[in-house]
């Protein structure tokens, strides 16, 4: 009886530990405050009407699919699986604008409307 309780306590603490570990490895890329502020500005500057007119699927196919795949799940060159991503809009905008590791920055390549349109489009590739 005594040992059962000890065992359960041990397993319990172990599971909390494992849980923390998965959280660490699943961590989203980190952004600086400046990058997040810039992302907020990009979102604010974009015009809903213009965002709607952007052919985001085409831009995604041209600039992003080489690593992420047309459906977002390819993961070439260490690319994150966009179908499993839970990244909020401002961080999507930040990573498109500034890039991260092997993913280049697109801040000079796309207009603010295009960046927001692509960020919204990739959210539609999510499976859940």
Supply angle C-alpha 35, 41, 42, rounded to 5: 90
Size of the site for ligand HEC (CB under 6 A): 23
Could you say which residues in the range 11-40 bind ligand HEC, by CB under 6 A?
A: 28-29
Return d(Cα 64, Cα 44) in angstroms, integer: 24
* Site for ligand HEC contains 117 (CB under 6 A): no
For residue 21, the minimal CB distance to ligand HEC (Å) is 18
| List 103, 116, 117, 125, residue binding ligand HEC (CB under 6 A) | 103
Closest contact distance (angstroms) between CB of 39 and ligand HEC is 11
With CB under 6 A as the contact rule, the residue among 97, 98, 106, 125 that binds ligand HEC is: 106
Site residues for ligand HEC per CB under 6 A: 28-29, 63-64, 66-68, 77-80, 85, 87, 92, 95-96, 100-103, 106, 118, 122
């Amino acid at each position: 009886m005594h040992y059962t309780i000890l065992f359960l306590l041990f397993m319990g603490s172990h599971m909390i530990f494992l849980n923390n570990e998965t959280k660490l490895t699943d961590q989203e890329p980190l952004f600086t405050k400046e990058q997040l502020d810039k992302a907020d500005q990009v979102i604010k500057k974009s015009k809903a009407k213009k965002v709607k007119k952007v052919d985001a699927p085409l831009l995604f196919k041209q600039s992003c699919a080489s690593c992420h795949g047309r459906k977002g799940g390819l993961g070439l060159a260490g690319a994150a699986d966009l179908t499993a991503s839970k990244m909020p809009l401002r961080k999507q905008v930040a990573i498109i604008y500034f890039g991260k590791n092997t993913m280049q920055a697109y801040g000079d390549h796309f207009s603010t409307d295009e960046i927001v349109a692509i960020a919204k489009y990739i959210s539609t590739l999510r499976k859940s």
